[in-house]
Structure 1
Amino acid sequence: MSHDAYGNALRLLTYVFAAMEHGSLRQAARELSVRESSVSRNVVKLEQLLEMQLFERDVRGVRLTEAGRAWTDVVRTHYDGLQEAFRDTRNNRDAKTLRIGLCAVAGGEFLKRLIDRFRKSCPDVSLAIEDITREQCLTAVRRRRFDIVFAPGIGTVTSCRAEMLWQERVFVLMPADHPLTEKRAVTWADLADMRLLVPVGSSGPLLDSHMLEGIFAQGCRPNVKACEAGQATVIFNVQLGQGVTLAGESFAQTVAIDATAWKPLGGHNSLCSIKALWLETNPKRAVLRLIGLARKMANRVPSAEHSQRVH
């Protein structure tokens, strides 16, 4: 393969990894701000260059072939490293800024103490903290748009480092006149057959597959309705009496919503794990400093306090 072919292959990899992450050429095109035909054409170009079929294609989207998965697993680390190497001046410019993404996490006692300790430990590093949607988490970390992201309900991750740091009690938002508001805490059994509204268009569901499996194993089957809408629209539907929704304790304890009431979940599967996502190849020392402080705090907090008590 010639030098020009190597350079072209590196560019084509952008399309391949976008298609791989989204499982859809259309979604990959949206992520890259190009036409779907451009993604398809460039994926085919790389397959021809390699003389290897990377994807199987059908009406539902695309998925890696066995050979494609083996090849991309090997290439992934090298690709990420080269992408970082070619970000010329950006790293120098942002060396003293730590960009933190929050996905469906509203601070909370653990995170507030962590940020406070970090600021005292690294006073010369400025923090840029922003919200991020669930579907963007992994891509944003891998492409270094964020140095670290905190998110709940994230399953197995292979494209970056993921570590559970703390847990939050899950809270239920329900109409203020709902009979369950008289209870101190509710259980999944109380929510059986109720409509559970879950936003998937912005912050994504708080529930992960492990928690759902545990709920169903107990015989509790809430009517989970995925809403192609943001959190604000889902909350409005709760106010209208169309169902209930979920949030972590850090959000529930700080946000009061008219005509609704927050109630903590009790019993099994009532805690949501918050994970940190970051790249081990990130050269910023501040990232490792923040993770180190978080690990010390997590080890120091007794499990009952770490899980946040229900008041």
Structure 2
Amino acid sequence: MISAKPISHEAYGNALRRLTYVFAAMEYGSLRQAARELRVRESSVSRNVVKLEQLLEMQLFERDVRGVRLTEAGRAWTDVVRTHYEGLQEAFRDTARDNRDAKTLRIGLCAVAGGEFLKRLIDRFRKSCPDVSLAIEDIPREQWQTAVRHRRFDIVFAPELRTVTSCRAETFWQERVFVLMPAGHPLTEKRVVTWADLADVQLLVPVGTSGPLLDFHMLEGIVAGGGRPTVKICQAGQATVIFNVQLGQGFTLAGESFARTVTIAATAWRPLDGHNSLCSIKAFWLETNPKRAVLRLIGLARNMANMIPSQEYSHSARDR
């Protein structure tokens, strides 16, 4: 028996859709009844049956006022095709039912700033796609490109990087960089600091999943007022680096959303001002990724980026 339940036209494509109409018409003996059971217009059933007949150059049905019935050639052809058709139907049903990966969106975070923007984005996505599960993990900076190419992650959010040709990239937001310094340091007397203020300061930069916010080459190449901070790459995570700041061993950097929500004993946050004081966050994904959830997340991010005032994240530090 042909199921009376509507079949997804989008999933099956034109050929399977036309076969669906043919077998429904054959079962019910009426184009009108087939259309009613499939919940489409009668003209749609008729049009697709005719298109298949034209493709085959064969008349499948005889038509009269009582309905439709298979021609001799049509019966022979449908007998051959039926097994393949029903097998394809079952294969599509099994795939849709069992493909749990299609209902999971894997998001990688690599030294990501802009936490408030990302939180709002995830909240909106969950509301608009409640049937999609989210798997959110940190990923080391040196691994994210391979992880995206191999589909271990569907999308990765990371700081601004040099040109990446292996996947699609798009910037969605910027936020000001904040400096974390020991509480007793003279620079705590200033409301904002510049790279010139940080000349001769040791800047602690974690590696791995928690840093750095800024590209290594950009950090090492910053020259402000004739001096520059000494960049020390730390084989440690953010927690250890922060502990070293508390001990007075140097400064470190973080995004504004982190700085505004996390108070750390024996330290002080100050916004960075001037050139190279903003951290741009991009999303990276494969255009060939078949998951609709990826495009849905990207669409929401674009809408949010367009709606947010251009200075909301990048310049609110001036008012601190």
Q: Same fold (TM over 0.5)?
A: yes
Question: Which residue pairs with 1:221 in the alignment?
Answer: 228
Q: Which runs of structure 2 are paired with 1:167-182 in the superposition (5 Å)?
A: 167-182=174-189
Question: Which residue pairs with 2:158 in the alignment?
Answer: 151
State which of 242, 254, 257 in structure 2 corresponds to 1:235.
242
- Report SS of the residue matched to 1:134: coil
Structure 2 gap segments, 5+ residues each: 1-94
The alpha-carbon deviation at position 243 of structure 1 amounts to: 0.6
CA distance in 2, matches of 1:217, 1:308: 21
- Report SS of the residue matched to 1:253: helix
Q: 1:205 to 1:267 in 2, by over 3 A?
A: same
State which of 193, 208, 212 in structure 1 corresponds to 2:215.
208
Alignment partner of 1:258 is 2:286:
no
Whether the 8 Å contact between 2:112 and 2:213 is mirrored in structure 1 is no
The alpha-carbon deviation at position 275 of structure 1 amounts to: 0.6
Structure 1 gap segments, 5+ residues each: 1-87
Question: Which residue pairs with 1:17 in the alignment?
Answer: none
The alpha-carbon deviation at position 307 of structure 1 amounts to: 1.8
CA distance in 2, matches of 1:244, 1:179: 13
Q: Which runs of structure 2 are paired with 1:1-20 in the superposition (5 Å)?
A: none
CA distance in 1, matches of 2:241, 2:151: 30
CA distance in 1, matches of 2:115, 2:171: 15
Whether the 8 Å contact between 1:98 and 1:147 is mirrored in structure 2 is yes
Task: Pick which of 202-211 and 250-259 moved more.
Answer: 202-211
CA distance in 1, matches of 2:226, 2:304: 36
Q: Deviations over 1:121-176 (max 9, x none)?
A: 11211211122221121111111111111111322111111111101110111111
1:114 is matched by which residue type in structure 2?
L
CA distance in 1, matches of 2:280, 2:131: 31
State which of 264, 270, 273 in structure 1 corresponds to 2:277.
270
Q: Which runs of structure 2 are paired with 1:33-52 in the superposition (5 Å)?
A: none
Q: 1:97 to 1:308 in 2, by over 3 A?
A: farther
Aligned Cα root-mean-square deviation (Å): 2.2
- Report SS of the residue matched to 1:168: strand
Question: Which residue pairs with 2:252 in the alignment?
Answer: 245
Task: Pick which of 106-115 and 164-173 moved more.
Answer: 106-115
CA distance in 2, matches of 1:300, 1:237: 39
Q: Deviations over 1:13-58 (max 9, x none)?
A: xxxxxxxxxxxxxxxxxxxxxxxxxxxxxxxxxxxxxxxxxxxxxx
State which of 172, 192, 202 in structure 2 corresponds to 1:185.
192
Whether the 8 Å contact between 1:214 and 1:269 is mirrored in structure 2 is no
Whether the 8 Å contact between 1:164 and 1:273 is mirrored in structure 2 is yes
1:301 is matched by which residue type in structure 2?
I
- Report SS of the residue matched to 2:312: helix
Which TM-score applies when normalising by structure 1? 0.66
Whether the 8 Å contact between 1:167 and 1:306 is mirrored in structure 2 is yes
Q: Which runs of structure 2 are paired with 1:46-195 in the superposition (5 Å)?
A: 92-105=99-112, 108-195=115-202
The alpha-carbon deviation at position 204 of structure 1 amounts to: 3.3
Q: 1:109 to 1:92 in 2, by over 3 A?
A: same
- Report SS of the residue matched to 2:156: strand
The alpha-carbon deviation at position 211 of structure 1 amounts to: 4.3
The alpha-carbon deviation at position 299 of structure 1 amounts to: 2.1
Whether the 8 Å contact between 1:298 and 1:306 is mirrored in structure 2 is no
